[in-house]
Amino acid sequence: MDATHWYGRATLWWTFFQISINERLVYRIDFVIGTLMRFLPTLTQVFLWWAIFDAVSSAGSADSASGPDGKIAGYTFSGMIAYYLMVIISRAFSSMPGLTTGIANQVRNGEIKKFLIQPVDMIGCLLVQRVAHKLVYYLIAALPFALVFWMCGDFFVSGWPPPDVMFVFITSLLLSFLLGFYLESCIGLIAFWFLEVTSLTFIYMLLNFLLSGHMFPLELLPTKPIDLRGFVEFMPFKYLAYFPAAVFLGKVEGAEMWRGLVMEVMWVLFFILLSRWLWSRGVKRYSGFGG
Amino acid sequence: MIQPSYLNVFLTFAKNSMIRDMSFRMNFILQCISSLSWAAMNYGLFLIIYQFSDSIGRQTGWGESEFFIFLGTIWIINSLIQTFFMANATEFSEMIRTGNLDFALLKPIDTQFLISFPRVNWAQLANAFLGLAVIIFYLHQLLNDPSKKMDFSIWSVFAYVFFVFCGTVVMYSVMIILASTSIWMGRNQNLHNFWFYITNFYRYPMEIYERGIGWALWGTFTFVVPILVVSNVPARVLAQPLGGHWGLWDWTLATMSVVAAAGSLWVSRCVFRVALKSYRSASS
């Protein structure tokens, strides 16, 4: 591998990156509106949890200035809402809409051939593309996000976390981007074997929704009769939503927090290697459908 | 001019859709499973919530059994909408973009009827059955609970079916209005999203909005876009312990439901007609 080789690669990826950025900027108004609308479900969640906490708090506290005083699985009312807001941040990094189906479709209709005849790595290109899309997304979504978080500042009772927690939080967000990307790529690559991965994608979505903490904080999961709470600890899903949020809110602290971060790195490495392996095996048995 | 028989046309639509669904049987089953599992997950969430709390809101009467009747009602209405209208509304938006609406306009039948019903998505009906099962189960629980004084008669069933029907009409109208806007916007890719965000508000008992700025939402979604009535009225008929001895408020809500159904249908018809006037066709 000489210097020109790497220079060639870098310019290639840079071009991909620019194309993807421009592609996204076309729909910027749609984007801002879409981002703001994203918070609407959170609004209903605020009222739903308000009512739920009302029932477990002392009478009258729900409508007082300090909010309901009850606790559910270690969460106060403000803590619960702060959790849901932070999960939106985690998901802004880890969610990869259309990645799995995109890869599967390319395999099925034969478009993937272009990566076989060109000296371009498909997963690498997709990664660059996603980075570009996400960057544009943050650029445009920053304003709506800032607005919502500023309005909801009161839910974050303990304010900003200390620097070391902040460091773990940001690192875990960046890792959750990689984890989301490689995990979904792996599912997409299974199309080499099955062609139709819609039902697989669906199962993944369901598991992700339930086990990542997107739906509710994982602390709420039952430990009896099946220890679901213990089970999710051994799954990669929790790093896609729960973990960064829990770190930020101080739900996971100290040694446990660092251990979680190491586990997340492990999962990322695991899925990088798995995607490489799936790709090399898949290409070998690929039979090139479509024209 | 010959009047088309609307019922026969609809039955043909339904039959054709059924034939189509049955020719991809595996896909049909997967679709059923997929919508059932989303519902099951929703159910799981509230099972978990009721582990921690015995009611949603203080003194609102939405205990576990009552709330699951509410949830079952939501599933039924949602599933009716998805079975009969969702695919058609999406298709309508697409027809506007591609210019295929020309063909619908040429046919000697009411255009709104023609675009509202051509595809029946039978697989989505699975959730309605699940909802029905859940309702029957929890109603049984409630009736056998001596601490709850339930009034239940055959009339409750009739009233329930009637109000579910009214609710479905309201939701259909909202959807037609949303879909009609594609005529002005050229393409309404956000239709699904819009729909998801709007229905988000009607999925919970209206009592949860009765505080702070929630009152604004409560007012908007009860009187302006009456989607809270859609789910709350039928669910209350069956589930609320007060079902038999309704107060003034319950009667107001029930009346609202009927008025909302008629009113929204009329508004949707107007919007649809006005929108059609701005239709300029597309492509060649």
pLDDT in tens, B168-207: 999 999 989 888 887 777 655 667 777 888 888 888 888 8
Per-residue tens of pLDDT for chain A, all 291 residues: 567 777 877 887 788 788 877 777 776 666 677 777 778 888 888 889 988 888 888 777 767 766 788 888 889 899 999 999 999 999 999 999 889 988 988 888 888 887 877 777 888 888 988 888 888 888 888 888 888 888 888 888 887 889 999 999 999 999 999 999 999 999 999 888 886 777 788 888 888 988 899 988 999 888 877 888 888 888 999 999 999 999 999 998 889 999 999 999 999 999 999 999 999 898 888 776 654
Q: In chain B, which residues touch A (CB < 8 A)?
A: 30, 34, 37-38, 41, 44-45, 48-49, 51-58, 60, 189-190, 193-194, 197, 200-201, 203-205, 207-209, 211-212, 214, 217
Which long-range CB contacts under 8 A does B44-52 form with residues at least 24 apart?
B44/A210, B45/A215, B45/A216, B46/B71, B48/A216, B48/A220, B48/A221, B48/A222, B49/A52, B49/A220, B51/A222, B52/A52, B52/A56, B52/A72, B52/A73, B52/A220
Residues A269/A239, Cβ–Cβ less than 8 Å: no
Q: Can you give the pLDDT at residue A289?
A: 61
Cα dihedral across residues A148, A150, A156, A157: positive or negative: negative
Q: pTM, whole model, 2 decimals? A: 0.86
Q: Can you give the pLDDT at residue B101?
A: 84
Average confidence (pLDDT) over B30-55: 89
Q: Using the 8-state DSSP alphabet, how is residue A153 labeled?
A: G
CA-CA distance, A79 to B229, in Å (whole number)? 31
Q: Can you give the pLDDT at residue A291?
A: 47
pLDDT in tens, B221-256: 888 888 888 888 888 888 875 545 667 778 888 888
Shortest CA gap A51–chain B (Å): 4
Question: How many contacts, defined by CB atoms under 8 Å, are there between A and B?
Answer: 80
Residue to mutate among A52, A77, A221, with most B CBs inside 10 A, is A52
